[in-house]
Structure 1
């Protein structure tokens, strides 16, 4: 099979309009060639290279984000002007953690500001927004509502726990999008809105200072399983006061630490060896160190049972130590 002929340099790569290409002498047959695809009516672009080498979840997420950016770029090319992307599309551009049913969605959420009508067309879901001051330029170079506004837009689509995970992401430890107070104030101002009850329930359980969605999900699994809420960001010191580490979650009194380990901890040898040393440091400092994996979150009862047993064991040991110390003092 012969290779498709090169496209004119004037098209500037992809995406491009069909009418523009035809005006430059590109035939209809060339526009149907196997190296091109039509993300929207009247638009063509080069097909993306297959993402066969994406081994970890983080790498696959980057591939999906790049695909979303390509779709947003193609739609803007069709419109011939910048457009506002909102709701799920905006959340994905902000890299908010979303359930797979939304993360894998193929349509784009496109919005217009009142009094304009909501956009319509194949491949998009149209929305109508009020308050132009809420529109900002995202890090991805597209117009989107402010992060907290997007979080509110997600309320009808997410469960309370899913809103908590997304809210944690907004007030995370590194480069937060907002403060916890700003999130709480935003929810307090809401009145008649779809999902407002879920937002109010979620807001009271959002916690600042987290590092990952998996850490947030682990916390919720433990709480929903009936265990006390663990501490975020506790710095563990050894008996001499030297820094040992900051686990994802900690039960300080019982000295039980939890760290979530993603795929990088398995496939990267340096990270794997560092994990072994880290676990030994916690043990030397008198802490029980529990490693949490994706499998634990898929079967939460196993994690709840394991952590619950560790807490009970530590409390029993502490009680026995106190009893021994009291008896020794009475001699």
Structure 2
């Protein structure tokens, strides 16, 4: 059976076990053909056709997410049963905002409940979870620990500020995973947990009502530099009571608004035109409107300087000193 020979229909649209394919008459040479790949020992799946490089970060993130789903499905097919994905893998299945070093990690975190042993094998990191302490949830069709437990599992791997960003995501404005009060109460009740000190510090800085990880990183960059904490989700109206906008962050007394602009603001002409009109509405309402990009978060001192001087101009306060 050569590469040009179609696989049996039952094997064409999903990962399949080599043992199953052999029983269906698929030859060894066909199983080694270049249109198939080996995600895990004993498993084959069709190799995806090359696609164009995505234009935006959101599209690249979506591509990575689909690759993760394929890997999880492939491993589950190898096991022949439902498995528990935990730690970084579970966080990615929940679409939690992770730093690049973890977002792009290819290993899968796979867990077993006591008294079972931690899974082992190439391409996975095995974990052992205490039975009874873990309420299992479902994300993207796979078994995972509940979101707050996944947040706790990330504590040894993330900094305090990185944990804050994930915590904000859990209590975000749209479709939150949990409430702010439940997050705080749960952390207070945890004992002898790896990274518990970092989690408790992070809980002090978690804020509900956010819309994006970039918004959280903006807020942390400003407050860690000693600037006042901005307000999240404040709606601005002009003197006539007409709606102006709801910036990501706002300093109310100084009337300074901050908004993060992702790549869609650059590549989409309609969004670009809307941004110009939006900025003019803020100016007409006597608000200082500061646009923040990814470069500002990469070099946060530039953001701190811009906001600090804006506040100084509007309120006559000294700019920050670094």
Structure 2 gap ranges (5+): 318-322
Secondary structure, counterpart of 2:316 in structure 1: helix
Matched, 1:103 2:129: no
Is the Cα–Cα contact under 8 Å of residues 210 and 233 in structure 2 kept in the other structure?
yes
Q: CA–CA distance in 1 between the matches of 2:126 and 2:107?
A: 10
Query: Could you tell me how far 1:316 is from its partner in structure 2?
Result: 2.9
1:286-316 per-residue CA deviation (whole Å, 9 max, x = no partner) reads 1000000001011111110010000000013
Q: CA–CA distance in 2 between the matches of 1:254 and 1:147?
A: 37
Is the Cα–Cα contact under 8 Å of residues 223 and 229 in structure 1 kept in the other structure?
yes
Query: Could you tell me how far 1:51 is from its partner in structure 2?
Result: 3.8
Q: CA–CA distance in 1 between the matches of 2:315 and 2:192?
A: 47
Q: CA–CA distance in 2 between the matches of 1:137 and 1:291?
A: 37
Q: CA–CA distance in 1 between the matches of 2:45 and 2:316?
A: 65
1:69-108 per-residue CA deviation (whole Å, 9 max, x = no partner) reads 0000000000000000000000000000001111111110
Q: Which residue of 1 aligns with 2:320?
A: none
Structure 1 gap ranges (5+): 318-331
Matched, 1:42 2:42: yes
Q: CA–CA distance in 2 between the matches of 1:50 and 1:143?
A: 30
Q: Which structure has the greater CA radius of gyration? A: 1
Q: How does 1:1-331 map to 2 (within 5 A)?
A: 4-132=4-132, 134-138=135-139, 140-316=140-316
Please list every run of at least 4 consecutive aligned residues from structure 1 whose deviation after the TM superposition is greater than 4 angstroms.
none
Cα RMSD of the aligned pairs, angstroms, is: 1.3
Secondary structure, counterpart of 1:211 in structure 2: coil
1:211-241 per-residue CA deviation (whole Å, 9 max, x = no partner) reads 0000100111111111111100111111112
Is the Cα–Cα contact under 8 Å of residues 164 and 206 in structure 1 kept in the other structure?
yes
Q: CA–CA distance in 2 between the matches of 1:230 and 1:20?
A: 59
Is the Cα–Cα contact under 8 Å of residues 173 and 210 in structure 2 kept in the other structure?
yes
Is the Cα–Cα contact under 8 Å of residues 4 and 33 in structure 1 kept in the other structure?
no
Query: Could you tell me how far 1:3 is from its partner in structure 2?
Result: 5.6
Secondary structure, counterpart of 2:96 in structure 1: coil
Q: CA–CA distance in 1 between the matches of 2:11 and 2:37?
A: 15
TM-score normalized with structure 2 length: 0.95
Secondary structure, counterpart of 1:204 in structure 2: helix
Q: Which residue of 2 aligns with 1:320?
A: none
Secondary structure, counterpart of 2:205 in structure 1: coil
Is the Cα–Cα contact under 8 Å of residues 16 and 45 in structure 2 kept in the other structure?
yes
Q: CA–CA distance in 2 between the matches of 1:276 and 1:168?
A: 29
Q: Which residue of 2 aligns with 1:323?
A: none
Query: Could you tell me how far 1:23 is from its partner in structure 2?
Result: 1.3
Q: CA–CA distance in 2 between the matches of 1:300 and 1:312?
A: 18
Q: CA–CA distance in 2 between the matches of 1:141 and 1:280?
A: 45
